[in-house]
């Protein structure tokens, strides 16, 4: 894509300060900007780069007033971050392939919608239905009786086990596994663990994005459910019979144990551990590396720590905790004196 500052400002409902005819053909970070690129300034701590960058155009807010001369052309907009999203959509990767690779294996009784793409060495098993415009890239495996909606994107190496359902406009990144067996084992009289069959499936509703190297287990019975609009980062484990409700986001290396229900619009940081058979209320925010071992019933609660406490209480407790060595030194003489007086 190649566009002038003037043309882009028109698309973004912005105004130009500088050369309106300067041409751009790619996006760049502000500290790595070069001629022909567009960058942005959304965080004031990066302002110094605005005076040094070689980028041809910088997106800034309407309120931005330079402290000294900037050689780049400025496009001033109401909302820098929304404008960035628009830019990335224009300059980003386009998934618009169609056709079926000669090396793909498509078994009988499958249905492929119009304008699909099936990549090299991909396997699509018996009874699968794939919706219109879906992009199935190289070396993907899709088991029997899987249903994929319209405009689904499966990046290389995704594995989807039998009977799972993926809704419209979902994106699943490389090497993620959908529908692997839940962690179900029962010890016998000799203490040997025997496998409990996992006969359910996974249902992923529309507009869900799942990062690379995630594992979402099938239900023991019924379904593991990821509701519409959920966004999962890389390296996340979702156990059997979990339900994650609409528009919740979860960061990398989080694990959710079996049969837990996470409410709508929750925000869960990286490396959070959540035990099984609990409920997390709508709008809950959980700080990174926290451990949640009980149900959270109050909506919009913010949690921190392990076991997780209400966020403000954790910060107060931590302020005391980090001062314990000094407090111990101050208290030791008092304790010794008390013991001497009260043998």
* Annotated catalytic residue, options 25, 173, 240, 277: 240
Q: Is 240 part of the annotated catalytic residue set? A: yes
Task: Give the model's pLDDT for residue 94.
Answer: 64
Counted residue by residue, the chain has a size of 343
Task: Give the model's pLDDT for residue 219.
Answer: 98
* Residue 252 CB neighbours (<10 A): 17
Pull the structure tokens for residue 283. 């709008």
Q: CATH for 3-91?
A: 3.40.1390.10
- Domains in the chain: boundaries: 3-91, 99-315, 318-343
How far apart (Å, rounded) are the C-alpha atoms in residues 218 and 221? 8
Coil, strand or helix at 16: strand
Give, as one character, the DSSP assignment of residue 197. Answer: P
- Contact predicate 26/37, CB 8 Å: yes
Nearest to 204 by CA among 179, 234, 225, 175: 225
Helix then strand then coil, in percent of the chain rounded to 5, is 15, 30, 55
Q: How many helices (H) and strands (E) does the chain have?
A: 5, 40
Give, as one character, the DSSP assignment of residue 51. Answer: T
Residues with pLDDT less than 70, the chain: 1, 91-95
How far apart (Å, rounded) are the C-alpha atoms in residues 51 and 214? 41
β-pair partners for 237: 215, 255
To which residue do tokens 């379904």 refer?
223
The alpha-helical segments, DSSP class H, found in the chain are 5-12, 47-50, 80-91, 311-321, 324-341
pLDDT one-digit tens code per residue, 19-57: 999 999 988 999 999 999 999 999 999 999 999 999 999
Domain 99-315, what fold? UDP N-Acetylglucosamine Acyltransferase; domain 1 (2.160.10)
Cis peptide before 127 (omega within 30 of 0): no
Same fold, 3-91 and 99-315: no
How far apart (Å, rounded) are the C-alpha atoms in residues 252 and 235? 5
Task: Give the model's pLDDT for residue 248.
Answer: 98
């Amino acid at each position: 894509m190649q566009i002038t500052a003037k043309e882009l400002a028109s698309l973004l409902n912005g105004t130009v300060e500088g050369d309106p005819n300067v041409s751009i053909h790619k996006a760049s970070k502000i500290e790595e900007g070069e001629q022909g690129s567009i960058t942005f300034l959304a965080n004031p701590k990066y302002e110094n780069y605005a005076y040094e960058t070689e980028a041809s155009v910088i997106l800034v807010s309407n309120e931005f007033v330079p402290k000294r001369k900037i050689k780049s052309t400025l496009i001033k907009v109401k909302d820098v971050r929304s404008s960035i999203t628009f830019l990335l959509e224009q300059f980003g990767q386009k998934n618009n392939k169609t056709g079926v690779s000669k090396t793909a294996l498509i078994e009988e009784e499958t249905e492929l919608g119009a304008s699909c793409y099936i990549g090299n060495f991909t396997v699509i098993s018996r009874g699968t239905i794939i919706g219109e415009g879906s992009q199935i890239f190289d070396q993907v495996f899709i088991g029997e009786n899987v249903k994929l909606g319209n405009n689904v994107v499966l990046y290389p190496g995704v594995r989807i086990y039998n009977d799972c359902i993926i809704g419209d406009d979902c994106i699943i990144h490389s090497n993620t596994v959908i529908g692997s067996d839940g962690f179900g084992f029962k010890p016998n009289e000799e203490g040997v663990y025997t496998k409990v069959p996992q006969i359910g499936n996974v249902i992923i509703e529309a507009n869900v994005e799942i990062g690379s190297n995630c594992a979402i287990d099938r239900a023991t019975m019924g379904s593991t459910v990821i509701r519409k609009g959920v966004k999962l980062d890389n390296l996340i484990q979702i156990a059997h019979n979990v339900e994650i409700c609409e528009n919740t986001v979860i960061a990398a290396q989080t694990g959710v144990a079996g049969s837990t229900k996470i409410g709508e619009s929750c925000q869960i940081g990286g490396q959070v551990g959540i035990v099984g058979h609990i409920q997390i209320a709508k709008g809950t925010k959980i700080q990174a590396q926290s451990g949640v071992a009980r149900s959270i019933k109050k909506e919009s609660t913010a949690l921190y720590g392990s076991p997780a406490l209400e966020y403000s209480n954790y910060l107060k407790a931590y302020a005391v905790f980090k001062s314990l060595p000094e407090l111990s030194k101050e208290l030791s003489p008092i304790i010794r004196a008390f013991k001497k007086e009260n043998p």
